[in-house]
Amino acid sequence: MCGIVGILGSHPVSQDLVDALRRLEYRGYDSAGIATVENGHLERRRAEGKLRNLEQRLLEDPLQGMTGIGHTRWATHGKPTESNAHPHMSDTVSVVHNGIIENFRTLREDLAGKGHVFDSDTDTEAVVHLITEELNNCDDPVQAVREAIAKLEGAFAVGIVFAGHDDLMIAARKGSPLAIGHGNEAMYLGSDAIALAPFTDEITYLEEGDMAVLRRAGAEIFDKDGLPVKRPAIRSQVSSFLVDKGNHRHFMAKEIHEQPEVISQTLSHYIDMAEGRVDYPDLGIDLSDLTRVTISACGTAYYAGLVGKYWIERFARVPVEIDVASELRYREAPLPAGGLALFVSQSGETADTLAVLRYCRAQGQRIASIVNVRTSTIARESDVVLPTLAGPEIGVASTKAFTCQLAALAGLTLLIGRARGTISPELEQELVQGLLEVPRHMAEIMADETQYEHLAHDLSKARDVLYLGRGINYPLALEGALKLKEISYIHAEGYAAGELKHGPIALIDENVPVIVVAPEDELHDKTVSNVQEVAARGGKIILISNGADDAAGCELMAHIQVPDAHPFSHPILYAVPIQLIAYHTAVFMGTDVDQPRNLAKSVTVE
């Protein structure tokens, strides 16, 4: 997760910017930089590696400006070089940015045709030149940013300063979080409140689509329609904590809402945006001759692996064996020569998963792991590590770690398929584009949670809830049921929709809600047939779909509309509604959402 900071201060801000960035180091990064407004022009210092390298650069060549922005960057578009580090700037504009600009290639080509010269491989630089071009047309920074933001597609957060404007900073968010800090004749900007804790405890969180104009005397905030709005200032309590809830009631809610940002980070880590293709590390095995992939994990990570099985078998045409770690480790499964063993874990310390890893290594398998903690035991004992850039996940019920695991698995699928010739360059670009649109679609889903709040009232009365899904949506049904029972303590089960008539249909009556994951894909009509079977027996149907809300004439308890998206991306996108259903139900029932009974975040014993 990249980090953004900004300060409109009363003294040189370079050291304060570095100190604020240090509080964001927990997010992980591979380069850092700051830019300030000095005597009417922009100055910048950047460095690869850790903040100490940037500090050394500032010792050698100080900055004295009292207005500045800073950034810690995970390499996304382009390698982790100084030229790709943020802030990016022209003579008149400097920008720091989190997220993905989906249409940056189109913007870049258009701006290059107008004479703009690009110095980096990043999508962020397209934002810089787009704002610069708008400034050439109107000479009003606020209007220029408003016009530029309207042309950006994706999920992002930006902080912007301008040459000749010492008392001005502009921020905007669409899918990635931003917070404003209020000081005494000073204003602050941060991607979360932790960065701002040393300077102020009065925080305003921007809402989706907001643009803020900061001056030392205060901030004006405009909503997505450009209308002035008031956002509440709250007292932050984060100074003594490493991670805080922000303006959310629970860590789980915060982590659900962080998904557009962290999915952007994870996808960008594995995708060459300029080429529209995946760019993974060498796995140390001939993928073109891969005989089998063996996946093992526990809990939610297992369901991510199950989605991976569907993807890899369908698109890469490689047989996949998958089992929960606690079973695979004891059944002594035979493993073929030349196989790849893949392990999925949020913490990287899961005892059963680690034991299976060691078994597979003894069987001569190449070991790869998808983990959120690069220094974990599973990561250290793997031949290759595929990190999920989710940042710390505090809530016991996994949300953003799950979707980042899916993002890493999606990219791995493309890598294997390309190596085996089952995915053409054209198809790879199509699937990559579908993945890159996910953060924006996620932000759309989370823009209004009223429907989930109302639905929670009815679900809280249920003793049993069923989840149904077909094909690649079956693992989502399993994950949805797990989420609901983890945090609300309502009994829930997930089933393959085609198995409904083979037993589970006996459970259905007018008191049993049935949540159906049914995007409009090649299996949609078959799933709707199962919905009709439920309706005929009085079941209460909650449909999660991008299609029509009548489910072939069935009366619905609720229809949760999901944006149209590429079918390849459906498992990542449809994870959000099932998370929100579970979260709001648990909140309504008053359970301990972040620390549900009997559960632990990392299971390090059998």
CA angle 584-588-594, nearest 5°?
65
Starting at the edge strand found earlier in the chain, the sheet holding 179-182 runs 41-48, 31-38, 67-73, 3-8, 187-190, 179-182, 202-205, 233-235
How far CA 375 is from CA of 223, 242, 349, 352, 383, in Å, comes to 41, 18, 10, 18, 13
3-state secondary structure of 318: coil
- Show the tokens assigned to 515: 């949540």
3-state secondary structure of 222: strand
The active-site residue, picked from 2, 298, 360, 404, is 2
Pair 123, 100: CB distance under 8 Å = yes
Q: 552, exposed or middle or buried, with CB in 10 Å at 0-12, 13-18, 19+? A: exposed
CA neighbours closer than 13 Å in the CB half-sphere of residue 354: 17
3-state secondary structure of 599: coil
Q: What is the CB neighbour count within 10 angstroms for residue 327?
A: 12
601 is catalytic: yes
Pair 261, 98: CB distance under 8 Å = yes
Q: Which of 508, 510, 482 lies closest to 497, judged by CA?
A: 508
The active-site residue, picked from 50, 224, 485, 601, is 601
174 is catalytic: no
Q: Where are the alpha helices (DSSP H) in 74-164?
A: 104-113, 124-138, 141-150
Question: Which amino acids are annotated catalytic?
Answer: 2, 601
